Chains A and B, each alone.
Chain A
Amino acid sequence: MPERTRRAILALADGTVFEGYACGAIGEAVGEVVFNTAMTGYQEVLTDPSYCGQLVCMTYPEIGNVGVNDEDSESDRIYAEGLIVKECWPTPSNWRSRMSLDEYLRRHQVVGIQGLDTRALVRHIRTHGAQQGVISSVDLDPESLVQKARSAPSMEGRDLVRQVTCREPYDWELGEWQPGGGFLRPSEAEIRDWPLVVAIDYGVKRNILRKLVTTGFRVRVMPAVSTAQEILAQNPDAIFLSNGPGDPAALPYARATVAELLGKRPIFGICLGHQILGLALGGRTYKLVFGHHGANHPVLDLRTRRVEITSQNHGFAVDVESISGKAELSHLNLNDHTVEGLRGLGTPFFSVQYHPEASPGPHDANYLFNRFRRLTELFARYGKSAMDYLESEV
């Protein structure tokens, strides 16, 4: 009891208020309140740039059990604006743990709230939709907090990508995490003949870059605002469109770049990258009521009829009708039948709404990285008809 005495409040724009206790940094944070149903991987979630602008509620109640380690971050800092949990464990237990979650939050000046009925919050969001909220351990006046939540800008139409993308291009060299042995680091000699992929960074998760390396790509990361010319100037063999935060419709520059790149190089998009691809094809995106954030979403591969359990994190989706004729639906969400994957018709690209790089989450969709590598090889040999060859191999 004594360690949790500083009160904190979570207020939602619709006037709903939850009381709890502070964890992490003392202060105030504003963002869209979303919930994530993954039972593991809070460190990955907090450091995922796609959570920029959001307050994340973890539905699993015991958070912080395994502390924070040196290897599991998806970026170099916490991107979530705040953390909402039932219980934030002060004393972790895991052989890789370097510090407690609480300390990690404090170091990164991230505000948290614990001890509230997080399930009630989830049920509220489920019914009333994701909305802006405020966590505060400095202002404990519910009315004032509700006002702050109301005046916070909505997710729709917001460009958060500019806040999270890299400033300068850089090369990424590390591969996947090896149990008991850090990260894979391919040798210079090994990578010499590998194809080069330019990863456009809308807020890329490191595990995507690691996966690309592990699959056998040399990886060059470029800022989201890069033009098609700048990208093609690198002479890449393939182009990757990363995940990222916010509303895809608010990124006309990204859409324009991708539209220009289409057909010129094989393209693979994940999450926001997938949505931008949809927009570049002339399609539409829309906001989901409370999005998909978790590690247990069943996705059907329409070609193989196999189901993948996937990691997901998105609040917007591509309207399938809007891209008909330009791409075909390759993957379907079995829970709500939303679009989970697209495949180019005659154009060498494919994309998924979910996260095949997992981290956190299941590895069922790992194969997509190999498929991307294969598409790159086929494109080098057959050009635009690479897609047909790829299909014949599936």
Chain B
Amino acid sequence: MGRRKDLHSVFVVGSGPITIGQACEFDYSGTQALKALKEEGLRVILLNSNPATIMTDPEFADRTYIEPLTAEVAAQVIERERPDALLPTLGGQTALNLAIELAESGVLERFGVKLIGASLEAIKKAEDRDRFRQAMVKIGLDVPASQIARSLDEAKRAVEKLGLPVIIRPSRTLGGTGGALSSEYNDFLAKVEWGLANSPSHEVLIEESIAGWKEFELEVMRDCADNVVIICSIENVDPMGVHTGDSITVAPAQTLTDKEYQLMRDAAQRIIREIGVDTGGSNIQFAVDPKTGRMVVIEMNPRVSRSSALASKATGFPIAKIAARLAIGYRLDELPNDITRKTPACFEPTIDYVVTKIPRFTFEKFRDAADELGPQMKSVGEVMAIGRTFKESLQKALRSLEIGSFGFDGVSERERKSLTRKALWERLCKPNSRRLYYVAEALRAGMTVEDIAAATKIDPWFIRSIAEIVEDERRLQASKTLDAYELRSLKQKGFSDRRIADLIGVDESEVRRCRHALGIFPAYKTVDTCAAEFEAFTPYFYSTYDGENEAQPTSRSKVVILGGGPNRIGQGIEFDYCCVHASMALRREGFETIMVNCNPETVSTDYDISDRLYFEPLTLEDVLEIVRLERPLGVIVQFGGQTPLKLATALERAGVPILGTPPDAIDRAEDRERFNALVAKLNLRQPRGAIARNEREAIEGAARIGYPVLIRPSYVLGGRAMEVVWDERALRSYVEGALSASEKRPLLIDQYLEGAIEVDVDAISDGQTVVIGGIMEHVERAGIHSGDSACVLPPQSLGSDIVAELMRQTKLLARELSVVGLINVQYAIFQGQVYVLEVNPRASRTVPFVSKAIGVPLAKLAAQVMVGRKLTELGFVTEKVPRHVSVKEAVFPFTRFAGVDPLLGPEMRSTGEVMGIDESFAAAFAKAQKAAMASLPTAGTAFLSVKDSDKRELDGVVHRLYRMGFKLLATDGTARFIRALGIPCDTVRKVAQGSPHVVDFIRDGKISLVINTPEVVGAADSASIRRTALECRIPYFTTMAGAQAAVTAIEALQRRPSKVQALQDYYRD
């Protein structure tokens, strides 16, 4: 027994950029797998296009390819590296799809690569809905009635039999993309069409609707000896009809008797055996009719999934690590349970707490998208909380979300006044991101648990828990007093100090003082897989207001690292990457590292990463309690993004030492007036600006600055609600909306540097030496959020004088702000002058990208200087300008939000990023495009439709496209302009001019490249062009800068096809 002797090298495929439905959970699982495989002495080859991952750090694999995740690229890697096996079950749907392609195209066979974990047959059986269904029927399990349709006609016939409502599910898409419920015939036809277009296999499943049923998931593992264990059961609070990824879920299942649970367990075992997943983890979803208990199988993922990450964190059982070991031949009973050490991994974890996951949404970023939840996943992140009761874990999860909520306080007094009973009822009936708050509100309004359950289809058990909380709130609000007994009881139900304070009308600190005076402190319990039956050796803790504290602090010198909380647009995996690096670096420096975070998808919440893990909300209260217990040397706040940063000042005020850059520096950079003073003091230049607290101030300010202006509310992340405003009328309408949205926050108005080149600079400082990490030139011009813009390192168009000036200014700023750690500065180069746009004295989103591009782990160095090391000692004293070129490109979730125009703007909307590395900008940009969206075409028809102000830049683009042999196609105005340049160009109708129009052409595959810059944002006609290109996966560019870069890249591709190279080779140069 033991591991297979025929394997010496394994090829692991990652999941690529962070998107909705595929987030950093696959970095967590991939990293675990790589570590496990390397520990086994195997040579590990990795392919992943996402630079912000820990797994793509060069030390985690022997050969790391940051290249596009396509079958063609994977084949090139296989040809170079000749691995013995491909492990495709840890990189999400992306890796699985890639494996299918490689197997079916014969690449694996040609190079003798074995598919391990799951066979091609098993993957196809699980993924192909029709075959899966047949398999279930064969083993006697119930499934919803359904039919596959490969055309609209087939769909029509199917719905005649099934009757509406039905669910339409396109086959083989990520996170249920395109899945939709339909109860009306025309709507049904439209959704089928959309689904057919978006399914890689051009088929949709039309299924009996079981919306409203209870939904459960089981995480199952199997080894090569056919041992099968269930790691965790998960119950969705939301009923069927809401995508699991968008559902509030709890572990373990709460409302099944043992008889019912065991039937599900039996079914899961039969399913994994029938599908034939040889080894590793699978996730199986079930639905149960709450009235009769009829159980149907929904689907199975024959791989590690988002739910397995959750199950791993919820139980302490490292599914991915074990799955990797099983894939290379170990059996479950041969592997130890890391936590107990004495017992084997072949068992079923039992837990003595309740875990609640709540997804985090960003509907505010997609104003045209309705806040409605359905079978298509829309959340961008999630939080998990652990408590001894559901009430406690639920309330902890709510405050973990960081949406300004500290309990059931999501409905403001103002909203309450305008919320009629009817409106409230509708919000209960239609699942939305704020449903929990509406349930509480309905209870306050006197609706019964039964009525709310009927409206929401949420099990009454969960609603009763909320009812108990609401009842406590009511009592507290009425009495305004608390004795020790009541306070303890509230804390046991998960009430935050802040919520209690709000309810009795005092300050949060007052409640805390009172609580401490009464001797009421949280205890920390261990996540141990076994409900305390055996001794646990892993310090993985959660707080609860129960008696015994198991987290006994050590006498070592320790550092607390505050993580980034839930993923959201503007704050994602990049910050988790930095936190993990900090922990690794400081452990190596001999410190005890203590990680605090509440995001179950991350590497940072792997209990292996830090010496201690506190799975806790990142609020002042929760952090202060940990600090009170652990008494660390200091707390690191600069790696987790805005989340810990927002706590910095309050922590410092509470006497908590903050390591690195002083919190005052953050304030100096973020406070507008102090920042102006800083820039003035250093004699730097910044765009003219103004602060407005009302409409009059805004109009005056804008007039003084001169239009166009960039306007946004202060203190926001990811450019939320930021807009370019061209005249007073637009300004007025913005102010109207924004002032109400952001309450007391003033508006910031800036001169908009039209056409300016934006530059990001990351640097590190130990307080004396400042070293530039990287200078990134944005591809898109000023006006596009830096997080959404493609960028290149080293800069391509900046003169050496500008580069020198950027370095000088960055160093100046770092010194002035006494930065110890990382600093990021954003600049605009406008008419030959350098303007400072923004200074962030903390880790920025680009740190992982820069680190990978230059081959220097900046976050690690930063953590080291924060505990007193000097850059000279650490050997990083001069800028490293690599010979190769690295391009970062953003990835967007537009396909998820029907009706949203996929345009770039000052508000950040990307969820992830990819990296392209090559010898030239053109080649690297081509790779980045391929990784982010689709391969750039080297021939075909290019469609152009650009606004008048862009036409002067059109000349070069069309000439070059024409020279390369592209056929040109344009709408009337653009076509005339192109022909006037002496280049042949066909005219195509606009949508408004009737069929056959441009959208038809895109649909029919007659167009291979779209360049479309809109005259007016939101114009329906051009929006439909972009949407269709997006949906049909045709590369499209909405800025001239992007188009020019694309043309350059296409030229490079025509000269020579892309080649792959490992990161380790780039660094060797």
List residues of chain A with CB under 8 Å of any chain B CB: 1, 18, 35, 37-41, 43-44, 59-62, 65-66, 69, 71-72, 86-87, 89, 91-96, 116-120, 122-123, 126, 177, 179-180, 294-298, 300, 305-307, 309, 334-335, 358-363
Contacts and interface: CB of A to CB of B under 8 A. Distances in A.
Contacts of A180: 292-294
Contacts of B227: 306-307
A72 B351 contact: no
B293 A362 contact: no
Contact of A72 (B258, B332, B389, B390): B258
Nearest to B350: A37
Interface residues of B, number: 64
Contacts of B389: 61-62, 86-87
Interface in B348-388: 348-354, 388
Contacts of B292: 95, 180
A360 B388 contact: no
23 contacts: A35-B531, A37-B350, A59-B352, A60-B252, A89-B461, A91-B461, A95-B290, A96-B257, A119-B532, A119-B548, A120-B546, A177-B259, A295-B258, A296-B347, A298-B344, A298-B346, A305-B225, A306-B225, A307-B227, A334-B333, A335-B343, A358-B262, A361-B258
Nearest to A69: B257
A334 B346 contact: yes
A61 B296 CA distance: 28
Contacts of B187: none
Contacts of A358: 262
Interface in B279-311: 290-295
Interface string B523-555: 101000011111100000000001110100000
Nearest to A66: B257
Instruction: Give the one of B229, B461, B485 with max A CB within 10 A.
Output: B461
Contacts of B351: 39, 60
Nearest to B344: A334
Nearest to B332: A307
B469 to A, nearest CB: 12
Given A59-B531, A179-B263, A180-B292, A65 B258 contact: no
B387 to A, nearest CB: 9
B531 A44 contact: no
Contacts of B532: 59, 119, 122-123, 126
A335 B347 contact: yes
Given A122-B352, A294-B350, A71 B259 contact: yes
B425 interface: no
B352 A179 contact: no
B255 interface: yes
B154 interface: no
A95 B292 CA distance: 7
Leading 10 A-B pairs by shortest Cβ distance? A41-B258, A117-B547, A360-B258, A120-B548, A93-B461, A59-B531, A40-B258, A296-B348, A122-B532, A117-B546
Contacts of A60: 252, 350-352, 531
B289 to A, nearest CB: 8
Contacts of A334: 333, 343-344, 346-347
B294 A118 contact: no
B273 interface: no
B347 A65 contact: no
A59 B344 CA distance: 21
A335 B336 CA distance: 10
Nearest to B549: A120
Given A40-B257, A177-B259, A307 B333 contact: yes
Given A93-B459, A117-B546, 6 more contacts: A39-B233, A60-B351, A86-B388, A94-B255, A298-B343, A334-B346
B982 to A, nearest CB: 76
Interface string B591-633: 0000000000000000000000000000000000000000000
A6 to B, nearest CB: 14
Nearest to A122: B532
A361 to B, nearest CB: 7
Contact of A40 (B261, B342, B546): B261
B349 A296 contact: yes
A359 to B, nearest CB: 7
Contacts of B295: 179
Main secondary structure of the interface of B (DSSP, over half): loop
B226 to A, nearest CB: 7
Contacts of A116: 547
A309 B390 contact: no
Contacts of B225: 305-307
B255 A62 contact: no
B472 interface: yes
A298 B333 contact: yes
Contact of B346 (A65, A72, A307, A363): A307
Contact of A39 (B346, B350, B461, B472): B350
A40 B254 CA distance: 9
A71 B344 CA distance: 35
Interface in B481-517: 485-486, 489
Interface in B236-260: 252-260
B460 interface: yes
A118 B352 contact: yes
A312 to B, nearest CB: 11
Contacts of B461: 65, 89, 91-93
B333 A119 contact: no
Contact of B548 (A38, A43, A117): A117
A59 B227 CA distance: 26
B464 interface: yes
B266 interface: yes
Nearest to B530: A37
B390 A62 contact: yes
Contacts of A123: 532, 548, 550
Contacts of A96: 257, 293
Among B230, B291, B389, B532, the most chain A Cβ lie within 10 Å of the Cβ of: B532
Contact of B293 (A65, A93, A120, A179): A179
A96 to B, nearest CB: 7
Nearest to A40: B258
Nearest to B337: A335
Interface string B216-231: 0000000001110110
A122 B254 contact: no
Nearest to B294: A180
Nearest to B226: A306
A62 B350 contact: no
A66 B252 CA distance: 13
A43 B533 CA distance: 21
Contacts of A43: 257-258
A65 B333 CA distance: 33
A62 B254 contact: yes
Contacts of A71: 259
A35 B352 CA distance: 12
A118 B233 CA distance: 22
B255 A294 contact: no
B265 interface: yes
A199 B562 CA distance: 61
A298 B548 CA distance: 29
Nearest to B485: A1
Contacts of B263: 179
A86 B880 CA distance: 58
Contacts of B333: 298, 300, 307, 334
A48 B367 CA distance: 58
Q: Which of A41, A65, A94, A307 is the most central at the interface, judged by chain B CB atoms within 10 Å of its CB?
A: A307
B266 to A, nearest CB: 6
Contacts of A18: 547
Given A44-B258, A180-B294, A362-B265, A119 B352 contact: yes
Contacts of A359: 258-259
Contact of B258 (A38, A117, A335): A38
B547 to A, nearest CB: 4
A361 B291 CA distance: 24
Interface in B384-408: 388-390
